[in-house]
Amino acid sequence: MQATNRLSEVLPFLKQGDKDAVKKELLSEIEPLDRGAAATEDDRMRIDKLAQKLEALNPTKAPLKSPLLNGKWELLYTTSQSILKSNRPKLLRPNGPIYQAINNDTLRAQNLETWPFFNQVTANLTPASSSKVVVNFDFFKIAGLIPIKAPGRARGELDVTYLDEDLRVSRGDRGNLFVLKMFDRSYRVPTQG
């Protein structure tokens, strides 16, 4: 194993090949899991192990400073029950795409649900390290129309553990895993809720 690690340092394309293979396997494994809502405990453990393998191959050492972080990302998989709402009937869960947008120059983020609810939340980000932010939610929008100021306790943390041109893996402060693909690099998060 050590010889392989040294060899990949000298020949970086070997590490690239590993990264591409793990990334392809991760995407293949999560594809049938309805963003994680259909995942069993065994599925979650398998996905987490694949995510850890990919995180070990992270090509972006300071994700919060990277322009690759900017834009609107589509959620492919998560373990967050507050997002999945898998305890509800499918009709009462978000059925359309779910997005998260981040702009590291303005330190703003936005989560957007689409069909059928169109809920949104915006947040200010405070860097805690080169990969982690404290998330302070400021406004919720119900049905995309009704703004509600977020309570002061509406906060969390997000650690960007893998970032490349088209894939992001993040982990939340409650142990949740998020896998997202780039959707719109030009998207800008509103400066006001």
DSSP letters, 10-70, are HSHHHHHHHHHHHHHHHHHHHGGGGGGTT--HHHHHHHHHHHHHHHTT-S-S-GGG-GGG-
Q: Is 86 helix (H, G, I), strand (E, B) or coil?
A: coil
**Could you state, in order of their start, the residue ranges of all structural domains in the chain?**
2-184
Of 19, 29, 31, the C-alpha closest to 164 is: 19
pLDDT in tens, 127-176: 999 999 999 999 888 887 888 888 888 889 999 999 999 999 999 999 99
Say what the pLDDT of residue 7 is: 40
pLDDT in tens, 10-60: 445 446 779 999 999 999 999 999 999 999 999 999 999 999 999 999 999
Say what the pLDDT of residue 68 is: 98
Q: Which two tokens stand for residue 107?
A: 């330190």
- β-pair type (132-142, 146-149): antiparallel
pLDDT above 70 (res 189) = yes
Say what the pLDDT of residue 8 is: 46
Residue type, 12: P
How far, in Å, CA of 179 to CA of 11, rounded?
28
pLDDT in tens, 73-128: 999 999 999 898 877 777 777 889 999 999 999 999 999 998 888 889 999 999 99
Say what the pLDDT of residue 118 is: 85
Q: Given 2.40.128.280, 3.40.50.1370, 3.90.1150.10, 2.60.40.10, which CATH number is that of 2-184?
A: 2.40.128.280
How far, in Å, CA of 31 to CA of 161, rounded?
20
Say what the pLDDT of residue 15 is: 64
How far, in Å, CA of 65 to CA of 75, rounded?
21
How far, in Å, CA of 116 to CA of 97, rounded?
10
Q: Which two tokens stand for residue 144?
A: 């995309």
Owner of token pair 């779910």? 98
CA 68 to chain centre: 13
